[in-house]
Structure 1
Amino acid sequence: MALTFQVDPPVTPALRDGILRLWTDVSNAGGSVGFVPPVTPEVIRPELVKHFVAMAEGRTRLLAGFDADGNVAATAFFTFNTHRLMTHWVWLYTVMVHPGHQGKGYGRDLLAAAADAARGFGGIEAIRLTCRGGGGLERFYESCGYKEVGRVPGAIRVAPGDDRDDVHLLLPLG
């Protein structure tokens, strides 16, 4: 069963708690979404609040994927550029699919829905994202049409002696 995607779903307690559970589960499964396991919802909550504040201020929009039971199973957050010379592209952050749903093509579905959503924002010509190197994510994004456009060696320190590249990717929407 495919996920159902919604741009800017109402921020309810159920959505908030669903994203918090998703982010915690993805992080603890080793996902590269800003944390290193083990992590608790209490550690993640301040970052989620920052996302919600940016949404309330109109700087960020949410794409949420819901499974057949209505649970949050995937997310991606769009952040708009405020610099007048860069308003033609958006950043994609916190791209996640629940570990229990991985391997079903939902990551590809999420990225396709993100591209469709960005096209609907008006004036957006590309999506940029970054990922943590060393886990094969760049190959996945490239298989979805993204192109590596930059790499900062050792920019992400996940643990002492374990530095990873910060990989920059771009998806032209034209």
Structure 2
Amino acid sequence: MTTVRLGADQLRERAAELADLLADTVNAGASVGFLAPFAREHALDWWRGRADAVAAGQLAVWAALDGTGRAVGTVGLAFPEKPNSRHRAELVKLMVHRQARGQGLGRGLLAVAEEAAAAHGITLLHLDTETDSPAEHLYRAAGWTRAGVIPDYALDPYGTLRPTTLYFKRLAAPAR
């Protein structure tokens, strides 16, 4: 697998395969902000809508490519605009296609995002994930700290209110 950072143009070019990934992730039951059944055309619209944020430097997106060059995983970092928040970023949309799971791809994408954040001068990352989801094991194993649980935070893909767990991770400041 190869992981590449996508600029706005590359994101637009790969929007169709990213839409397939997002639709697969939601329809497989992952709680990433959408309800199932999730149509590919809605996923395509959502990804196309991210290109401006990437161009503005508010969002960084990486795609994991399989041996054929198809995107089978993704992760993003959302950077706050407020001056007092520029030391932190939110980890967003860590997704792996069902056909590519179990190969360490999620852990690899997480490491890429953490390394890029540290190189960008970010010293604190945070995220939220559905409580008791498979993703929680990944974050704990990667050294993320559980900050707490918010009950009834969001609907899961099937429309049931579920709690969300907040995590954070401190990163080493880059050498200067």
TM (normalized to structure 1)? 0.89
Mapped to 1, the partners of 2:64 and 2:134 lie a distance apart of: 23
**Range that drifts further, 47-56 or 110-119:** 47-56
Q: How does 1:56-135 map to 2 (within 5 A)?
A: 56-121=55-120, 123-135=121-133
Tell me the CA shift for residue 172 of structure 1: 1.3
The one-letter code of the counterpart of 1:61 is A
Mapped to 1, the partners of 2:85 and 2:112 lie a distance apart of: 22
Identity of aligned residues (%): 26
TM (normalized to structure 2)? 0.88
Q: How many residues align?
A: 170
Unaligned stretches of 5+ residues in structure 2: none
Q: Kindly report the root-mean-square deviation, in angstroms, between the aligned alpha carbons of the 2 structures.
A: 1.7
The 3-state SS of whatever aligns with 1:68 is coil
Mapped to 2, the partners of 1:117 and 1:156 lie a distance apart of: 29
CA deviations 1:106-136 (Å, max 9, x no partner) are 1111111111111222x21122111112324
1:164 to 162, 166, 169: 162
Tell me the CA shift for residue 12 of structure 1: 5.7
**Aligned residue in 1 for 2:152:** 154
Closer/same/farther in 2, CA of residues 12 and 49 from structure 1, 3 Å limit: closer
**Aligned residue in 1 for 2:26:** 27
**Aligned residue in 1 for 2:46:** 47
Tell me the CA shift for residue 42 of structure 1: 1.6
Determine if contact 1:26/1:98 at 8 Å carries over to the other structure: yes
Tell me the CA shift for residue 13 of structure 1: 5.2
The 3-state SS of whatever aligns with 2:25 is helix
Unaligned stretches of 5+ residues in structure 1: none
The one-letter code of the counterpart of 1:169 is Y
Structure number with greater CO (CA < 8 Å, separation at least 6) is: 2
Closer/same/farther in 2, CA of residues 14 and 57 from structure 1, 3 Å limit: closer
**Aligned residue in 2 for 1:5:** 3
Determine if contact 1:7/1:117 at 8 Å carries over to the other structure: no
